[in-house]
Amino acid sequence: MNHAVFGRAVVLAAVWLGAGCGTSSPTAAKTDAGAADAGAAPACTPAKCDDGSPCTDDSCDAAGVCVHSAHDGIACDDHNACTSGDSCSATVCSGVPVVCNDGSVCTTDSCDPASGCVFEAHDGVSCLTTDYCTKFSTCSNKLCVGVPVDCKDDNVCTDDGCDPASGCVHLPNAATCLVAENPCTVDDFCALGACQKGKPKACDDGNPCTTDYCSNLSCAAYVSYGVACDLDGNPCTEDRCLGSLECSAVPGSALPCDDLNGCTADSCDPKLGCTHVPLAGGATCADDGCTTGGSCDAGVCKGQVPKVCAAGLQCGAGSCAPPGMVLIPGGTFWMGCEQVPGALCDATGTPMHKVTLSAYYLDRDEVTVAQYKACVDAGVCADPGPNPWQALPAMANRPIVDIPWDQARGFCKWRGADYDLPTEAQWEMAARGDCTTNGSTADDPTCKAAMRAYPWGETAPSCSYAVMSDLGKFGCGTGAPLAVGSKPAGDSPYGLHDMAGNAAEWTLDWFSFNYNAFTAPQIDPVGAASGSSHTARGGDFAGNSYQLRTTYRMGTGGMVVGIRCRKTAP
């Protein structure tokens, strides 16, 4: 209804008093008109034309008919709480439906036209949430509530937290820490989210006769047997830790000063160490027994006449043999170790028994990496794998190790039909000498006592004689074998190199735990008839003094065992 025409309606009411409102027929109009003329009341009034809609303008036209004009676009109220933004359109008041969504998974959302949005709670039921920092969520007070996730990883080197969008976060830090598996380091530190080892805990007590170590953060030590020490500052004596905390002089020991030059006088000066004084000119000399007629000139042997060997042989260590080999003449020796006071024996090397051997040839040196590679390249030997002292060209002259027994024997057989591994008896006589080389005879009762404890004699092992473990450091501090023949002072009586240390060597025999089955005199024995493993001899670069004895035996192979071949002598 338009209230602007209200005044006009009053006037008309005065004119048309008593007239009806609405659409009339033509006849009625005329009648009404006539009545008007006669002073009758008006038939249409604004009050009677009001249709109750806020979206129309209500009026009477000139003929007294109600007119309802649309009033679109104006604000209105449809009295419905579930709509908003009500406005008129086509004489109707209507609005946009209200969206009742509180964003909670713990309510049922609806709308009441009288009161508006209604959010019905569902407490106690399980619910899902996008918050990765909670778990086991349930509805409570219209909210999805869970138990906080424990993000602690028990790592001192991370700062632990939680990101609702992704979950647990562990950020590396720089805190101090302690490496649990190695409690003997100090100043351990955190880096890259892990505890890194710091400096080793210093445990050196300054005593060369102890091996110092750390255990659970505390320093400890044990007595080192046989390691080198310096008792008197005299380089010409050998001092060792012999089972006590004090350094002791080794009885009968002397620094090996032989330079293998027959034209020098070799000696040891307590202040200077080894000296090599040239002999006077004209002194006779020889070159390892393979020349004659030589004479010394300013410390050099000159004018030698080479020893003549048969075809296919060459002179070495005073005898004719195949290249790289030495003739071991037939002889008699005592094999094994006798359990007497002061002797370094174990059950595997007893009892001591007499053995006689026929002549044979034996390699002067242990088989090298380069020599074994030639067999691999020929398609006969298996590749031993990348041990650090085998893989590099610089290691070519070091002994091949970590070779199984069958592959070691296969290498020797590849060299010729009359090549093989030495028997234990052949290996041991070559290492310690027979009765003759030790200044006795086969029937002399002193021969048994003359058998050498080490290839060079009775002097305790050191890095002057063998490639061994010195002060707990393998390979004389290098951690690996050295080039073959590096320790000539430790040669056997026949001039064989590295019969103690560097690499242990396979023999042909099966391993047995003692020599009880061979106590009677033996001739060319071949050891036990069967067994579960074969015997290796000679100690190795990781061996101690005890393991470098000529009687020491091993029933296992591994990364310290190599090859030395023998050949049948005519």
What would the pLDDT profile of 31-82 be if each residue is shown by its tens digit?
A: 343 334 444 445 687 778 888 888 988 888 888 888 888 888 899 988 899 9
Beta strands in 40-82 (DSSP E): 56-60, 66-70
Provide the pLDDT for residue 131.
Answer: 86
Domain span at residue 282?
Answer: 264-306
Measured over the CA atoms of residue 123, residue 126, residue 129 and residue 131, the dihedral's sign is: positive
Provide the pLDDT for residue 69.
Answer: 86
Provide the pLDDT for residue 200.
Answer: 79
Are 497 and 325 in contact, with CB atoms under 8 Å apart?
no
Provide the pLDDT for residue 226.
Answer: 58
Structure tokens at 135: 């778990």
Is residue 315 pLDDT above 70, yes or no?
yes
Are 564 and 362 in contact, with CB atoms under 8 Å apart?
yes
- Taking CB atoms within 8 Å and a gap of at least 24, the contacts of 263-267 are 263/296, 263/297, 263/299, 263/300, 263/301, 264/299
Nearest residue to 238 via CA among 223, 224, 227: 227
CATH code for the domain of 491 = 3.90.1580.10
If asked whether residues 268 and 370 sit together in one domain, one would say no
Provide the pLDDT for residue 358.
Answer: 96
Determine if the peptide bond prior to 351 is cis (ω within 30°). Answer: yes
Provide the pLDDT for residue 553.
Answer: 94
If asked whether residues 299 and 438 sit together in one domain, one would say no
If asked whether residues 348 and 481 sit together in one domain, one would say yes
Start-to-end Cα distance in the chain: 144
Are 20 and 43 in contact, with CB atoms under 8 Å apart?
yes
Instruction: Kindly indicate the confidence band of residue 244, based on its pLDDT and cuts at 50, 70 and 90.
Output: low
**What is the mean predicted confidence (pLDDT) over 334-340?**
85
Average pLDDT, the chain: 83
Q: Give the whole-angstrom CA distance, residue 230 versus residue 29.
A: 149
Is residue 415 pLDDT above 90, yes or no?
yes
If asked whether residues 322 and 268 sit together in one domain, one would say no
If asked whether residues 293 and 323 sit together in one domain, one would say no
Tens of pLDDT, residues 125-173 = 888 888 899 998 899 898 888 899 999 998 999 999 999 989 999 999 9
Written as one letter, the residue type at 280 is A
Structure tokens at 418: 């009359």
The helix/strand count (H/E) of the chain reads as 8, 39
Is residue 94 pLDDT above 60, yes or no?
yes
Provide the pLDDT for residue 287.
Answer: 67
If asked whether residues 287 and 415 sit together in one domain, one would say no
Is residue 264 pLDDT above 70, yes or no?
yes
In a domain, 551, yes or no: yes
If asked whether residues 322 and 440 sit together in one domain, one would say yes
In a domain, 176, yes or no: no
| End residue of a domain, out of 255, 279, 306 | 306
If asked whether residues 281 and 320 sit together in one domain, one would say no
Instruction: Kindly indicate the confidence band of residue 342, based on its pLDDT and cuts at 50, 70 and 90.
Output: low
H or E element that contains 48: helix 46-49
Provide the pLDDT for residue 528.
Answer: 84
Provide the pLDDT for residue 283.
Answer: 84
Total of domains in the chain? 3
| End residue of a domain, out of 306, 323, 338 | 306
In a domain, 410, yes or no: yes
Instruction: Kindly indicate the confidence band of residue 252, based on its pLDDT and cuts at 50, 70 and 90.
Output: low
Provide the pLDDT for residue 129.
Answer: 81
Instruction: Kindly indicate the confidence band of residue 503, based on its pLDDT and cuts at 50, 70 and 90.
Output: very high
In a domain, 285, yes or no: yes
In a domain, 355, yes or no: yes
In a domain, 256, yes or no: no
Provide the pLDDT for residue 227.
Answer: 66
Is residue 387 pLDDT above 80, yes or no?
no
Of 113-122, 380-389, 415-424, minimum mean pLDDT range:
380-389
**What is the mean predicted confidence (pLDDT) over 219-245?**
71
Q: How far is CA 325 from CA 54, 456, 564, in A?
A: 127, 19, 10
In a domain, 30, yes or no: yes
Provide the pLDDT for residue 455.
Answer: 97
If asked whether residues 324 and 470 sit together in one domain, one would say yes
Is residue 492 pLDDT above 90, yes or no?
yes
Helices (H), 329-423: 369-377, 388-391, 405-415
Q: Give the whole-angstrom CA distance, residue 381 versus residue 397.
A: 18
Instruction: Kindly indicate the confidence band of residue 5, based on its pLDDT and cuts at 50, 70 and 90.
Output: very low
Provide the pLDDT for residue 306.
Answer: 84
If asked whether residues 372 and 500 sit together in one domain, one would say yes
**What is the mean predicted confidence (pLDDT) over 181-193?**
81
| End residue of a domain, out of 247, 280, 306 | 306
Provide the pLDDT for residue 218.
Answer: 74
If asked whether residues 441 and 520 sit together in one domain, one would say yes
Q: Higher confidence at residue 44 or residue 566?
A: 566
Nearest residue to 238 via CA among 225, 252, 224: 252
Is residue 2 pLDDT above 60, yes or no?
no
In a domain, 218, yes or no: no
Are 467 and 243 in contact, with CB atoms under 8 Å apart?
no
Tens of pLDDT, residues 443-474 = 888 899 899 999 999 888 989 999 999 877 89
Q: What percent of the chain has pLDDT over 90?
A: 41
**What is the mean predicted confidence (pLDDT) over 314-337?**
91
H or E element that contains 429: helix 424-432
Structure tokens at 275: 């000296």
Q: Give the whole-angstrom CA distance, residue 320 versus residue 232.
A: 45
Instruction: Kindly indicate the confidence band of residue 341, based on its pLDDT and cuts at 50, 70 and 90.
Output: low
Q: Give the whole-angstrom CA distance, residue 526 versus residue 503.
A: 22
Provide the pLDDT for residue 43.
Answer: 67
If asked whether residues 438 and 411 sit together in one domain, one would say yes
Q: Please name the residue that has the structure tokens 């562990």.
A: 170
